[in-house]
Amino acid sequence: MSDAIARLRKLPSVDQLLQTEAGAAAVDRFGRPGATAAIRSVLAEARLAVREGQMLPKTDALAVAALELLEIGERSPLRQVFNLTGTVLHTNLGRAVLAEAAIEAATAAMQAAVALEYDLDTGKRGERDDHLRGLLCELTGAEDATVVNNNAAAVLLVLNSLAAGKEAIVSRGELIEIGGAFRMPDIMAGAGARLIEVGTTNRTHLKDYVGAIGPQTGVVLKVHPSNYRIEGFVAEVSARELAEVCRVTGAPLVNDLGSGTLIDLRRFGLAHEPTVWEAVADGADLITFSGDKLLGGPQAGFIVGRKNLIKTINQNPMKRALRVDKIRLAALEATLKLYRDPDRLAERLPTLRHLARPLEEIAAMAQRLAPAVQKALGEGLMTSCAECASQIGSGALPLSSLPSAGLALAPKKGGGRALDQLTAAFRRLPIPVIGRIENGALLLDLRCLEDEAGFAANLASIDPALGAGGFDEMA
Ligand SMILES: *Cc1c(COP(=O)(O)O)cnc(C)c1O
């Protein structure tokens, strides 16, 4: 006991630690109050350890530990990661990666005052939607357009503007939950619309809609069943047929496309997803879709369609609460402009570039990376090239999978526990690597990997215990 007390007295003071090289670096980078607090915390832990009989730590090691503590605290939880999940538009990983042009436009908008709501011709107050209105009409064929925070907000705003205190008619086969808290019936309730369900889960007919439409109808809503499909004995009414009935009865038809795309994806070897242009041509009065799904831009929700309805929407005070800022408007404008040149779209828009990436290119990258990965991970693991299937994600084309390639990393022993430790070690890398578990291995789908050299360099920081095959020794 007295031995421990004697050793405790030998622990350096806060001031002594501040004067070490690491201590000085901590003050320089994080400020004196932060450096002092980190040193106190490291010293408190050292005192506990010494009381428990451990050796007296070295002064320099204590200062370095304090500096590391500060560095960890400084790391943003919103860190860049390698998305090797195989899901291109991964909602939990931020969906679309923006195009270079969008990044430049957003940066420019951040750096200076911009004519956001200012008409440079007249010198009078302008409208924030004007920046995108023309482009959206050009790309969709719609009469008018507006933009809000996301597609959930677009649906909410449309329902609240047109159907508050009235009825919103929707097929039982389209009462979807997208994920999170987005459930169509809840959004309806939140918008103050009374939900009128028609048809059945698997079959809804035109007569079901016709029977429900009446003087209380605020909107007829058609919803893209984004993330699921009903197969077998099914019937749904097309937007075109529904538009005809709505036109005759005067009830506005709203088509929530969900992902929505501005271009026919068959051009890029993908399955057909209804385009916004087609939805407009089919006669819906309003169409809603996302900015950060297949469109490949920042988070946003678009509403396009009839001028008088867009006007009503823009007059709803709720619009103000859901509007987007100058940074996103700038990024959206730059993203939309890329669609004017479809031939170069796959090259310029990361979302499409990843979706349209040829399998041979991905497989060749797996071949190139496999030896380096095996070397970095050591003998405890088996690294092999693997065929796999990517998904689009975010509810777009849920049944389409894209043949892809990647690396399968399998611990030679230790089973599921070793696999958990392996995935955790990848999440702890300087740039965390997120893959998926498949067939007893950590599968890294390389479809979305562009920075091959960065990925390889990142692996040098893998927990060395992995290399020794010593999974159990890992923290
Ligand atoms: C994804 C989706 C939404 C929600 O869009 P966000 O942009 O995520 O808010 C709404 N409706 C459908 C059909 C969707 O697929």
pLDDT per residue over 42-63, tens digit each?
A: 999 999 999 998 888 999 999 9
Residue where one domain finishes, among candidates 348, 380, 412:
348
Distance 214 CA to ligand 1 centre (A): 28
pLDDT per residue over 180-193, tens digit each?
A: 677 888 899 999 99
pLDDT band of 470, cuts 50, 70, 90: low
Testing ligand 1's pocket by substitution, the residue of 290, 293, 295, 324 carrying the most ligand atoms inside 8 A of its CB is 290
Asked if residue 75 has pLDDT above 90, the reply is no
Q: Report the predicted TM-score, pTM, of the whole model to 2 decimal places.
A: 0.91
- Rounded to the nearest integer, the mean pLDDT of the chain is 93
Domain count, the chain: 3
Mean pLDDT of 5-17: 92
Nearest-CA residue for atom 14 of ligand 1: 258
pLDDT per residue over 90-106, tens digit each?
A: 999 999 999 999 999 99
Model pLDDT, residue 306: 98
pLDDT band of 468, cuts 50, 70, 90: low
Claim to verify: residue 34 and residue 152 sit in the same structural domain: no
| Closest atom of ligand 1 to CA, residue 152 | 9
Nearest-CA residue for atom 6 of ligand 1: 151
Distance 259 CA to ligand 1 centre (A): 6
Using an 8 Å Cβ cutoff, are 242 and 210 in contact? no
Distance 228 CA to ligand 1 centre (A): 13
Model pLDDT, residue 380: 87
Residue 142 sits in a domain whose CATH number is: 3.40.640.10
Claim to verify: residue 279 and residue 186 sit in the same structural domain: yes
Claim to verify: residue 176 and residue 303 sit in the same structural domain: yes
Model pLDDT, residue 4: 78
Claim to verify: residue 161 and residue 307 sit in the same structural domain: yes
Asked if residue 402 has pLDDT above 70, the reply is yes
Distance 100 CA to ligand 1 centre (A): 25
Testing ligand 1's pocket by substitution, the residue of 182, 227, 255, 324 carrying the most ligand atoms inside 8 A of its CB is 182
Claim to verify: residue 308 and residue 358 sit in the same structural domain: no
Buried b (16+ CB within 10 A) or exposed e, 460-474: eebbebbeebebeeb
Nearest-CA residue for atom 13 of ligand 1: 258
C-alpha distance from residue 161 to each of 79, 86, 249, 286, 319 (Å): 38, 39, 19, 12, 9
Residue 372 sits in a domain whose CATH number is: 3.90.1150.180
| Cβ count within 10 A of residue 248 | 10
Testing ligand 1's pocket by substitution, the residue of 93, 150, 151 carrying the most ligand atoms inside 8 A of its CB is 151
Asked if residue 475 has pLDDT above 50, the reply is no
| Closest atom of ligand 1 to CA, residue 259 | 15
In angstroms, rounded to a whole number, what is the distance separating the alpha carbons of residues 211 and 53?
Answer: 82
Residue of 446, 381, 375, 372 lying closest to 407 (CA atoms): 446
| Closest atom of ligand 1 to CA, residue 182 | 4
**Residues with C-beta less than 6 Å from any ligand 1 atom:** 150-152, 155, 178, 182, 223-224, 226, 256, 258-259, 290, 301, 394-395
pLDDT above 90 covers a percentage of the chain that reads 80
Spatial strand order of the sheet with 194-198 comes to: 144-148, 301-305, 286-290, 253-258, 217-223, 167-171, 194-198
Residue of 360, 359, 366, 411 lying closest to 389 (CA atoms): 359
pLDDT per residue over 12-24, tens digit each?
A: 999 999 999 999 9
Claim to verify: residue 197 and residue 296 sit in the same structural domain: yes
Query: Residue 185, Cα to own-chain centre: how many angstroms?
Result: 24
Nearest-CA residue for atom 3 of ligand 1: 258
| Closest atom of ligand 1 to CA, residue 290 | 7
Claim to verify: residue 18 and residue 111 sit in the same structural domain: no
Mean pLDDT of 118-147: 95
Mean pLDDT of 373-396: 91
301-305 and 144-148 as β-strands: parallel, antiparallel, unpaired? antiparallel
| Closest atom of ligand 1 to CA, residue 226 | 15
Which of 225-234, 242-251, 338-347 has the weakest average pLDDT?
225-234
219 vs 77, higher pLDDT: 219
Nearest-CA residue for atom 2 of ligand 1: 258
Distance 151 CA to ligand 1 centre (A): 5
Claim to verify: residue 213 and residue 165 sit in the same structural domain: yes
Asked if residue 469 has pLDDT above 70, the reply is no
DSSP sequence for 254-273: EEEEET-BSS-GGGGTPPP-
Mean pLDDT of 391-414: 88
Mean pLDDT of 339-348: 96
Model pLDDT, residue 275: 96
pLDDT band of 1, cuts 50, 70, 90: low
Distance 150 CA to ligand 1 centre (A): 8
Asked if residue 421 has pLDDT above 60, the reply is yes
Claim to verify: residue 386 and residue 469 sit in the same structural domain: yes
Using an 8 Å Cβ cutoff, are 419 and 437 in contact? yes
Mean pLDDT of 163-191: 88
Claim to verify: residue 61 and residue 139 sit in the same structural domain: no
Claim to verify: residue 249 and residue 266 sit in the same structural domain: yes
pLDDT band of 66, cuts 50, 70, 90: very high
Model pLDDT, residue 175: 87
Distance 155 CA to ligand 1 centre (A): 9
Distance 161 CA to ligand 1 centre (A): 18
Model pLDDT, residue 463: 78
Model pLDDT, residue 231: 83
Testing ligand 1's pocket by substitution, the residue of 178, 255, 261 carrying the most ligand atoms inside 8 A of its CB is 178
| Closest atom of ligand 1 to CA, residue 299 | 7
Structural domain containing residue 304: 100-348
Q: Round to the nearest angstrom and report the end-to-end CA distance of the chain.
A: 30
Claim to verify: residue 266 and residue 149 sit in the same structural domain: yes
